[in-house]
Structure 1
Amino acid sequence: MVDFEKGNGLVPVIVQDFQTLEVLMLGYMNDEAWQKTQTEKKVTFYSRSKDRLWTKGEESGNFLQVKSYYIDCDQDTILIKAEPVGPTCHTGTRSCFNTEFGANFLLELERIVKHRYDFPNEESYVNRLRTKGINKIAQKVGEEAVETVIAALTETETDFINESSDLLFHLIVLLREKGISLETIAKNLESRHQ
C-alpha cells in the first residue's frame, strides 16, 4: 500500500525502461493517478504545474505501458518498469536524463532485432538473415565465434572487439529466432551463480 500522506498527497515515481533498466523519467502521483495507472496500464502522473492528472503520452502518443511496479520499503516511492512507446522526454530523447546506453545497449539491440522481426524490411540485414532460416543464422553464430577466437589469439584488441560485437549481434538474432530473450539467459546465469 502506498503511503500518500507522507508527501502531502503526492509520492515520487521513478520510471525505468523494463528492458534496459534505464531511468526514463521522474514524476509524481497522487492516489487517483496511482489507481488510474494500475487500471489502464499506462503511466499517469499528477501534474503539479497543471494541477490535474496527466497520462504520459496523452498528446504525443508516446505512452509508457506499465510492465511491473514496486513500492519501496517506506511505502512512499514507486518504481515503475515500463515499455516506452516512442521517446519519453518532451525534447524527443528516449530519457529525460539523456543517459548513454552503455552495457544496456545489448538490451536495446534485442529490441531493435525484435522490431525487425515484427516489421520486416527488405533492406534490413536481420530480415535477410531470417529469410535464410535458422540453419544459416546458427552457421553465422559459429563463424563469428571462430573469428572471435582467432582475433583473441592473433589480432589486435580492436579486431577482437569488432569480432566479439559481430558474435553478440548474431547470437541475439539466433535467440530471437528461437523465441528466447536475453532476460531468460540472464536468469539462467543468475540461477547457476547461486
Structure 2
Amino acid sequence: MKVKVLNLDGSAAKGDIELSDDVFGLEPRADVLHRVVTWQLENRRGIARATRERSDVARTGKKFGRQKGGGTARHGDRAAPVFIGGGKAHGARRREFNVSLNKKVRALGLKMALSSKAQNGLVIVDSLDVADGKTKALAGQLAKAGFGKKVLVIDGEAVNDNFARAARNIIGVNVLPAIGANVYDILKHDTLVLTRAAVEKLEARFNG
C-alpha cells in the first residue's frame, strides 16, 4: 500500500512510502480489538488492598466476662467487629486483575489497530523536526494540517526532543516512541501520525 508522505503542516513532502500489507492491510475484527483493549485496561488496574477481618486480627479469644449477671452483652471474643481493634465486618477482599492474553492475539490486535487507522485516520510524516521546540509554532502547524482534535504521534527509537517539548502543552496531542505503540491509545485518537522511522520500527517488530 502506497501512502503519500506529508510535512507537519500538512503539505506534501518528497516521495511516497510503501506500507506492508501484513501490518497495515488487514481487515480489523471487533472481537480481537475488544479482547486486547480489555486486557490492557485490566492490567492497568491496581490490586485492591484487603482489610483484616475477624479471623485476621491478633486479639485474645479468652472470654472476658461472665455469661450472666454482668449487665452487658455475652461477648466471648475481642476480635469481634464491635470492639476497637477488632476485625472489619464484611471488609474488602484482595482482588487481582492480571488477565492473560496470548502473544499472537496481542500482536494481531496491534496490526488490526494500525490497519483500521490506515483505512481512515493515518498520516505519515517525514520527521518531527520543530524549530526551537516552540509550542506556538507547532500548534500553528498542526492547526494548518487539520489532523483533528485527538492526535497520537509515534516516532522511531525515541521521540524527537524538540517535538516532545513543544507538544506537551497542546491539549489532545500525545506522543509515544515506536516501542510504546498500543491498541488502546491508537484507537482512542482520531488521527495516528507516524514518522518514517516509526513505520520501519513497527514493521521490523512484526517481521523480527
Question: Normalised by the shorter chain, which TM-score bucket?
Answer: under 0.3
TM-score by length of 2: 0.21
Which structure has the highest strand share of the two?
1
TM-score by length of 1: 0.22
Which structure has the highest helix share of the two?
1
Larger-gyration structure (1/2): 2
